[in-house]
Amino acid sequence: MKKNSVHSLYLNLSKASSGRKFFIAFLAGLLSIFALPPIHFFLVLFLTIPTLIWLLDNIDDSRISFFVGWFFGLGYFLGGLYWIAYSFFVDADQFAWLAPFAILALISLLSIFIGLVTLVFSKFNVFGSGRALIFSSVWVIMEWLRGHIFTGLPWNLIGSSLTFSDELIQVSSIFGAWGLSFFAVLSFSFLGCVRPKFLFKNPSYTTIPFLILIILWCGGHARLFFAEENFFPNIRINIIQANIQQEDKWIPENREKIFFKHLEITRDSFKGRVEGEDLELFIWPETAIPFLLDGDRQVVQIIEKNIPENGFLFSGGVRQERIQNSETSFWNSIFFFNNTGEKIGFYDKFHLVPFGEYVPFRKIIPFKKITQGLSDFSSGDGIKTIHLQNIPSFSPLVCFEAIFPGKVADRLDKPKWLLNVTNDAWFGFSSGPYQHFAGVKLRSVEEGVALVRAANTGISAVIDSYGRVVNRLDLLTEGYIDTYLPKPIESGTFYGKFGDRVFFVFLLILFLFIKIKNKLQGNKIEKY
């Protein structure tokens, strides 16, 4: 693009009317979704994020600055989270009418965080490379807040656009997913934060965004080059993916069929092997057993007959328990069975999905939850490290519990691996399951431990402690994974030891650097 055309584009964007700015921001946000999984065309962000920044110039009203970001977020989250609507059509008679209202409410709420990015960023009188650092910092701080406020939803962080590359995501071992997002935004925003006239006078600056990504890739490549691919020699992982469609899952006459289908695939997964050589872990996905297990002696006997002597069965299911006032509570759980069918432990999901598993403020909100049953699920006790016999200790995670950076492992009782069971059948063949898988993949890099994932309709996988996929089953396929359990990184990772503190210390140092740099330079302002 020629000098005059770039400058003309900048002037058209910066001097546009507020209504036009809102419309362009919305289109830029919508276009940005092509950077997300499964497409991963991240180059589009070199266009859309600078566009967002240029739209903020020549604005005197803070409200307009906010709404430029809000409309960008509206496009970004509409395109990135459209698939949530699929869940409302599983039971269309009851919930289909709610889909447009729920999606609009959700994306409007999430867009506030990008609106706050543009609002706060517009208050800084920092120029040059420091401007890109400020924008990146503010963006990631808002992503962090989005992941923590209320129930939190750190979905489709900008850093997820880089999860196609094992090399690029290795920085997460130091700074977490927040650091990956920071460097991604820094790269994408740089050309928008440096003045066009300055860039044309100093064309070498146009290489900096790509240099950032190259440095990330080289650092990640070096880390992977020296990484050893170690496995527990006697711990075998058997992941069962039965590919049960959500509309079929809870039909009473299907429940027995679904249970036996999981058993059939389980038997196939170890057929022909000599018993006693390895310890076998059979992993079934979230709510794989579509009925209550308590007191069902027949199920115990069936498990005993179908699990080898050296085997264990881990399965998602619904747990119930009567409390003192005779009311019954329900949990979305993982059950742990030994080869005799004895339940030797369980884990209750604690990070529940609003309106999916419970209705917040139920007394004043007259809606049903989308999942089966009239009663809300109860919340579990929190993150746990499970210790079972000869099995390496692990941290269980149900569904989207695995998307929260720094919230998947007990730092005082560090697990050897992560277990994630999920059911993404709610979202069919959409981008949702791919986005979910991309986010989960980062947990392995952050914590330096393997992640074993069993998904009802996919994507099931075994991921090693460097985020590399050892084996996987694609979306909407039936089958099993049979492989050994990868070992953790013995020394751990910076992020695994210190969590978000590492990234925020980094940001503090960065802000001090910017402040000192501006003071020394006198914060000179170049004109366009």
Cβ 28 vs Cβ 48: under 8 Å: yes
Residues recorded for the chain: 528
Give the whole-angstrom CA distance, residue 477 versus residue 460. Answer: 10
The label of the residue with tokens 């006997």 reads 301
Cβ 432 vs Cβ 82: under 8 Å: no
Rg (CA), the chain: 25
Catalytic residue among 21, 349, 407, 416: 349
Alpha helices by DSSP H, 153-239: 172-193, 196-201, 208-225
Find, among 423, 418, 473, 424, the residue nearest to 443 by Cα: 418
Retrieve residue 514's tokens: 């910017």
Catalytic residue among 143, 286, 357, 447: 286
Retrieve residue 407's tokens: 């919230």
Catalytic residue among 399, 401, 407, 441: 399
Residue type, 147: G
Pairing of strands 450-455, 417-422: parallel
Give the whole-angstrom CA distance, residue 216 versus residue 371. Answer: 42
CA quadruple 176, 178, 183, 184: dihedral, nearest 10: 110
User: Sign (positive/negative) of CA torsion 33, 34, 38, 40?
Assistant: negative
Find, among 41, 42, 72, 43, the residue nearest to 56 by Cα: 72
The label of the residue with tokens 């501006």 reads 518
Give the whole-angstrom CA distance, residue 450 versus residue 465. Answer: 4
Q: Is 349 one of the annotated active-site residues of the chain?
A: yes
Alpha helices by DSSP H, 226-273: 246-249, 255-269
Cβ 453 vs Cβ 422: under 8 Å: yes
CA quadruple 498, 499, 503, 504: dihedral, nearest 10: -90
User: Which residues carry out catalysis?
Assistant: 286, 349, 399
